[in-house]
Amino acid sequence: MSRLIDTGLEQLASIIFRTGELAFRAVSLSLNSYIEGTDAYTQVADFSRALVSMADEAEDKSFELIARFQPVASDLRILKSYMKIAYDFERFGRYALDVSQVQKRLGGLEQCEGWIKKSIEEMSEKVLSMVRASVDSLKSHDIKVATMLSETENQVDDMYFRYLDRLVEKAPATNRCTISSVLVVRYLERIADHATYIGEAIIYLATGQRITLR
C-alpha cells in the first residue's frame, strides 16, 4: 500500500534527476567551449546558479518530508543520500563555471602545443563519461556502474599527475597556456572525485552499505 511519504520521495527523486541532467549539460558545455576556444561563460553561469537553486530545493524537500512524516530508517537513508548527491551535482556546476572563467580570462587551448590539447581532450572525455555514468547509475540504482566509477577515477588521477610531470619537463616558461591548463586539469580531477562520491552515495542508497571507492 502506498504511503503518504512515497509521493514526496518521488517528487524529490525527480528534482535530483533533473539536477543531474543539468549538471551534465553544464560540465559538457564548459569543457567543449574550453577545448574549442569559444565563450560559454554566461550560459554556464546560468546553469551553475540553477544548480545551486535545485540543490537547495532538494534539501528543503528532504527536511519537509522529515518534518511531516517522521520517516523510518530506510526513508532516512534515501533522504540523506539524495541530499548528498544534490550537493555533488551542485559542485559539478561550480567546477564547470571555474573552467569557463579560465576560458574567459586566460583563453583556451588555441596557443597551446598539440600534446597539451590532446591531453586535455582525453582527460575531459574520461571525466565527462564519469559525470554521465553517475547520473545514469543514480536513475537505475546500478551498483555495478557506481562501483566502476572508482576505476575510472583512478585513471583520471593518473592522467592528472602524468600531465603535471610532462608539463614540468616540456613547458619552456610559465605562460597563459600553462596556467590555464593546470587549472583546468585540477578542476577535471575534482569533478572525477565528486562523481565517485556520487557512486558511494548510490551504493549506500541501494544497499545501506557504506563503502569508500577512492
Give the CATH number for residue 188: 1.20.58.220
How sure is the predictor about 93, in pLDDT bands with cuts at 50, 70 and 90?
A: very high
Percent of the chain scored above 70 by pLDDT? 98
DSSP classification of residue 37: T
Position 4 scores a pLDDT of: 87
Query: What does the CA dihedral 64, 70, 71, 72 come to, rounded to 10 degrees?
Result: 160
| Residue 68 CA to its chain's centroid (Å) | 31
Question: How far apart are alpha carbons 128 and 161 in whole angstroms?
Answer: 18
How sure is the predictor about 101, in pLDDT bands with cuts at 50, 70 and 90?
A: very high
Q: Helix crossing, 176-207 with 4-36: angle to 10°?
A: 160
Q: Is 108 helix (H, G, I), strand (E, B) or coil?
A: coil
Position 211 scores a pLDDT of: 83
- Could you tell me if residue 134 is inside a domain? yes
Total domains present in the chain = 1
Question: How far apart are alpha carbons 113 and 164 in whole angstroms?
Answer: 14
- Could you tell me if residue 29 is inside a domain? yes
Note down the domain range covering 29.
4-207
Average pLDDT, the chain: 93
Grid cell 522529515 is found at 66
- Could you tell me if residue 158 is inside a domain? yes
Buried-state track 193-207, b at ≥16 Cβ within 10 A, e below 16:
bbbbbbbbbbbbbbe
How sure is the predictor about 171, in pLDDT bands with cuts at 50, 70 and 90?
A: low
- Could you tell me if residue 43 is inside a domain? yes
> Shortest CA distance to 184 belongs to which of 128, 131, 124?
124
Question: How far apart are alpha carbons 112 and 119 in whole angstroms?
Answer: 11
- Could you tell me if residue 212 is inside a domain? no
129-156 pLDDT, tens digit each: 999 999 999 999 999 999 999 999 999 9
- Could you tell me if residue 213 is inside a domain? no
The answer to whether the beta carbons of residues 135 and 27 sit under 8 Å apart is: no
38-59 pLDDT, tens digit each: 999 999 999 999 999 999 999 9
Position 78 scores a pLDDT of: 95
